[in-house]
């Protein structure tokens, strides 16, 4: 239970860049990954914009034949895993792979394949449905594929808790390692649900921005004129190691994963609980798990979706946890640039946080133009800020009332 767990590798596939260096640079520059959807006809949709991953070639990371048998969420997840493991410097030829596992999160899984094969069924009959349909769509296939690719026989499963999925996956990995079940875990999340049905579904619940004439301005967390979130896609994967294991092999350490908290609103299938009681609870549990006081947090990476209720309720939760000091803590939303990566959001945002920690800046919340009296914290508007981060808290709050919170700290011997 006393094991210290550190981050030694990161891999990212995002709408603002593939790979940690490109991603970090885009975060610092405040780039938007939004554009008009061009992969299918959106002329009849109320929302016609999203944040796609650009110039992604799965064959750059995965065998071509294997890639064809994967849903897109699995392709981007495998690419991120490849980058994370390479970045960690792990030599799997000499590692005890029974002590290495994989846990990943996704909210939706292989929706693209479901749609394609359902069309095949209707048009051509059962015999034309792919025999790979089921293994391509199930959410556990990403950690399964990671295990198969790298021969990892340690703990392995998937987590699905909507937008909180990857934070939950990382938190589960942290706890397994503390209990001594693994020395290394490959963990995070992946999502690729910008499909005709996926976009239509989110349009129907009126969750999305309809700022179709200015995609890059659509995601505007905490701004008074926000009108919904922007669908994004991608994957974030990190390598976690026990400190003992990382030090023994001379690994680079990005930061120490200190705390994890989880709760549920028990309120509504999509709307957050108005007083944010369970979100407050999850943050307090994470602080207690980290064995630190709220005064030690000097940055919050917010869930910050750009929806009316999420942003003001999350702001309220932060103020309840940190009191008057909340006004002195920089808070920013990665989603202002990447859009909402759904089940992959938490991992992508934790990676953003540790990269900012490494490089000594806080990324901005872009498109913040008009203050909202109910959202009155320091959201680092529009321009990155040169500032050292010592200890950060990252929120993920999902449909179904799922809340998951991670705390990461700059590594100290």
Q: Which residues are catalytic?
A: 163, 303, 340
Encoded tokens for 182: 């693994």
Q: Is the dihedral of CA 306, 310, 313, 316 positive or negative?
A: negative
CA distance 264 to 277: 9
| CB atoms inside a 10 Å sphere around CB 148 | 12
* Of 358, 335, 361, 353, the residue nearest 16 (C-alpha): 335
Of 253, 144, 132, nearest in space to 190 by CA: 144
Q: Which residues 6+ apart lie within 8 Å of 272 measured at CB?
A: 265, 279, 309, 310, 313, 314, 397, 401
Determine how many CB atoms are found less than 10 A away from the CB of residue 25.
15
Decide: residue 122, CB within 10 A, 0-12 exposed, 13-18 middle, 19+ buried.
exposed
DSSP reduced 3-state for 378: coil
User: Distance between CA atoms of 301 and 112, rounded to whole angstroms?
Assistant: 30
């Amino acid at each position: 239970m006393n094991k210290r767990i550190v981050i030694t590798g990161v891999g990212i596939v995002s709408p603002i860049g593939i790979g940690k260096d490109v991603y970090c640079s885009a975060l610092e520059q405040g780039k938007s990954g939004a554009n008009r959807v061009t992969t299918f006809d959106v002329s009849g949709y109320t929302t016609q914009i999203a944040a796609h991953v650009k110039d992604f070639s799965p064959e750059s990371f995965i065998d071509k034949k294997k890639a064809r048998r994967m849903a897109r969420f699995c392709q981007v997840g495998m690419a991120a895993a490849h980058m994370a493991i390479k970045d960690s410097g792990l030599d799997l030829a000499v590692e005890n792979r029974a002590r290495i596992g994989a846990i990943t999160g996704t909210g939706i899984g292989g929706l693209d394949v479901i749609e394609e094969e359902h069309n095949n069924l209707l048009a051509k009959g059962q015999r034309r449905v792919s025999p790979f349909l089921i293994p391509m769509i199930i959410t556990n296939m990403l950690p399964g594929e990671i295990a198969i690719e790298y021969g990892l026989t340690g703990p392995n499963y998937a987590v699905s808790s909507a937008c909180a999925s990857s934070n939950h996956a990382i938190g589960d990995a942290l706890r397994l390692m503390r209990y001594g079940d693994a020395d290394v875990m490959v963990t995070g999340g992946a999502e690729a649900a910008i499909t005709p049905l996926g976009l239509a579904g989110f349009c129907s619940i009126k969750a999305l921005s309809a700022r179709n004439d200015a995609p890059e301005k659509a995601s505007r967390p905490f701004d008074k004129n926000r009108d919904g979130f922007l669908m994004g896609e991608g994957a974030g994967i990190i390598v976690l190691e026990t400190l003992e294991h990382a030090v023994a092999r001379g690994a680079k350490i990005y930061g120490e994963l200190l705390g994890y908290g989880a709760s549920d609103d028990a309120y509504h299938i999509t709307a957050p609980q108005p007083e944010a009681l369970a979100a407050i609870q999850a943050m307090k549990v994470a602080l207690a798990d980290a064995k630190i006081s709220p005064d030690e947090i000097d940055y919050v990476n917010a869930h910050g979706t750009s929806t009316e209720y999420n942003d003001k309720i999350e702001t309220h939760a932060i103020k309840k946890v940190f009191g008057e000091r909340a006004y002195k803590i920089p808070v920013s939303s990665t989603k202002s640039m990447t859009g909402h990566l759904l089940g992959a959001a938490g991992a992508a945002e934790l990676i953003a946080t540790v990269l900012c920690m490494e490089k000594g800046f806080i990324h901005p919340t872009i498109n913040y133009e008009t203050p909202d009296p109910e959202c009155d914290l320091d959201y680092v508007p529009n321009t990155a800020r040169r500032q050292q981060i010592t200890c950060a808290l990252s929120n993920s709050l999902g449909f179904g009332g799922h809340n998951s919170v991670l705390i990461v700290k700059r590594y100290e011997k």
